[in-house]
Amino acid sequence: MMKYYVRYNTVTGEITGRGGPVESLASQENLANDISAVEYPLNTKRLPELRQNYHVVGGEVVLKPEVERVAAEAEVTFKKYRAAVHQERKKRIAHGAPVTLAGYGETVYLQGRDSDRANISDLAQLAQMRIGAGDFITTTVFRDRNNVDHSLTPAQIIDLYIQAAALFQAIMQTSWTLKKADPEITDPSQDSHWP
């Protein structure tokens, strides 16, 4: 990165102007002592932005204290927002949702706690093994969120697994979208934001 220099008030540190490459300082005559050579990419900051957000301290261009405070507050706010989105995602996955399975007349209420997801995954593996062995009839009991037992065929267990995975993935993707929202969503817990 090339070094460029800025002119500044030696008492207040306020930036008053921006110069060219530091190498050009050697060829200039009658330079006042109010010139500081700093490592700064010339094309990234225009003079009004330099004057508004930066000043010179100890021969270096640094953020003004007020700008630092605002940036720090924005970072804290962003971290709180992300934490709220994470909490809502965790809650919604744990709560799950009702699903309807092909060839089955009752609604099954999914949950997505770690133990529930592990159980659904294990039951899907068992169902795949049964189907692989030509067994499409043997049922497996699945207890849902409302403590209702459902006797499901291997194909219905696979359907349950697919719908559970799709639901949990949709909730994850929604959380990613909410975290990238600009401006941030006022209340990330609103149902209208989630699948």
pLDDT attached to residue 60 = 67
Long-range contacts (CB closer than 8 Å, 24 or more residues apart) made by 126-135: 126/154, 126/157, 127/154, 127/155, 127/157, 127/158, 127/161, 128/154, 128/158, 130/154, 131/155, 131/158
Same-domain check for residues 57 and 76: no
Same-domain pairing of 97 and 125: yes
| pLDDT at residue 25, rounded to an integer | 56
Owning domain of residue 16: 3-63
Does residue 120 share a domain with residue 27? no
pLDDT at 35: 53
86 with 178, same domain?
Answer: yes
| Residues of the chain under the 70 pLDDT cut | 1-5, 10, 19-48, 50-51, 56, 58-61, 67
Tell me what pLDDT residue 62 has. Answer: 72
**Same domain as 91, residue 33:** no
Do 130 and 79 fall within a single domain? Answer: yes
Residues 54, 80: one domain? no
Q: Say whether both 160 and 125 belong to one domain.
A: yes
| 48 and 128 together in one domain | no
- As for how many domains the chain has, the answer is 2
Instruction: Specify whether 41 is located in the same domain as 80.
Output: no
pLDDT tens for 29-80 read 444 444 555 555 555 556 667 667 777 676 666 777 776 777 778 888 889 9
